[in-house]
Amino acid sequence: MELTAPYMHDGSVSTLRGVIDLYDAGGGQQRPRSPLLRKLSLTEREKSDLVAFLESLTGTVEKMETQTASR
């Protein structure tokens, strides 16, 4: 997650914290915007915790060796 910046469909947000701030504010100014988006009123601690959680999803994937079935 952390390694896939920039974020959003148009690449307009460069950090995970920026994404969280955008959603916390109720979304961007672009229209049309879903009526389901609303301000979240997150605390600074909640925002920091969300960033830490999202960063924890970053990891490495081991390459798996596979055998081809012989017929």
Q: Tell me: the pLDDT tens digits for 17-55?
A: 999 999 999 987 777 878 888 999 999 999 999 999 999
Q: Which pLDDT value is given to residue 27? A: 87
pLDDT of 15 > 80? The answer is yes
Own/partner pairs for 3-12, CB < 8 Å, 24+ apart?
Answer: 3/58
Query: What is the rounded CA–CA span in Å between residue 21 and residue 40?
Result: 9
More confident residue, 60 or 41: 41
Q: Which pLDDT value is given to residue 1? A: 58
Q: Which pLDDT value is given to residue 61? A: 74
Q: At what angle do helices 16-24 and 44-56 cross, to 10 degrees?
A: 140
